[in-house]
Amino acid sequence: MERENQFVGQSLAFLDAVERTSRAAALQRPVLVIGERGTGKELIAERLHRLSPRWGEPLITMNCAALPETLIEAELFGHEAGAFTGATRSRAGRFEEADKGTLFLDELGTLSMGAQERLLRAVEYGEITRIGSSRPVRVDVRIVAATNEDLPGKAERGEFRADLLDRPVELPDGVRIRGFEPADTDALLALNAASFAAHPEQGAMDAEGFAERCAEPWFDPAGLLIAVDSSSGDDGGTEGAMLGFHWTKVHDRDHGEVYVVGVSPASRGLGLGRLLTLAGLHHLHERGVREVLLYVESDNAPAINIYRDKLGFTHAQSDTHVMYRR
């Protein structure tokens, strides 16, 4: 007999949460429900499923804290026969069981980093790979997760993948990021020259070279993101110096590129490179891009640290020196 849960109570805060849930149900996006134990997170997950277009498909629930770390990945993603001791036959995981429906992951913050990496691929590409197999399996699953932990705080400590948290880019006070405008050209060329003084191939770009790139079919002013000092003026609305930029590319329907990220030498050490990269990744995601490529010098340790260790890029074997993808 299927269990049926009902909301009972008149808390205005909870009723507001229920209303927000109803509005979010139709969105085909992952949802993270945050709240203390006993506050009804599973009820919210069920409502998200029942009011969504997936209501007639499975709702699969899994408590990530209920299984040991050694078994959690096999339970989520399935396994092939012989993949580990005791795996006498192949078994589908929770993702395959939830295909076309909803997967509710309770206690998300307890997942191991290895499981988080697999989960990220499922979120971004809609595919999973069973333990012991090299063949990806396509799945159509909406993920609803719940936690009572401070996941952004865990991400800052390196205990949770920041790229699993789809949240707006939080800028420092006095910094604004916007799209390129023609009046920015001179300042951008000057900043580019200063930022890439040790890399003359990029740093030597002049007005003619910039104009040639702007004439390319892929150029999009909205995809050339400019960070400016917005602290000037009494009302904070007057812009000051340009602090950095992130030039993105969209190659085709599925592929984009972190083309160039430059930060003024005077603004280094403020985390602007990471913030500009994140803003560009959000822009590419909004354009529908599924995979983002970038090229970086193999001896550029600070950049590699940002891209690989903080933003989740992985080394692309097709170019063993400088190419990363996310």
pLDDT in tens, the chain (326 residues): 455 566 666 677 777 778 878 877 877 778 899 888 888 899 899 999 999 989 999 999 999 998 888 889 999 999 999 888 888 899 999 999 999 999 999 999 999 888 998 898 888 788 899 999 988 899 999 999 999 999 988 988 889 988 888 655 667 778 889 999 999 999 999 999 999 988 888 889 999 999 999 999 999 999 999 999 987 644 444 578 999 999 999 998 888 999 999 999 988 888 888 889 888 988 887 787 878 888 877 777 777 777 776 666 766 655 444 444 55
Same domain, 53 and 135: yes
The pTM of this model reads 0.53
* Distance between CA atoms of residues 172 and 69, nearest Å: 37
321 shares a domain with 182? yes
Is position 7 within any domain?
A: no
The answer on 189 and 109 residing in a single domain is no
d(CA 170, CA 201): 32
Structure tokens at 59: 């709702």
| Domain limits for position 54 | 12-164
Q: Are residues 181 and 106 in the same domain?
A: no
Sheet strand arrangement including 102-106: 31-34, 142-147, 102-106, 59-63
Residue 2 domain flag: no
Look at the chain and count its residues: 326
Q: Provide the CATH number for the domain around residue 126.
A: 3.40.50.300
Residue 276's nearest CA partner among 248, 236, 317, 235 is: 248
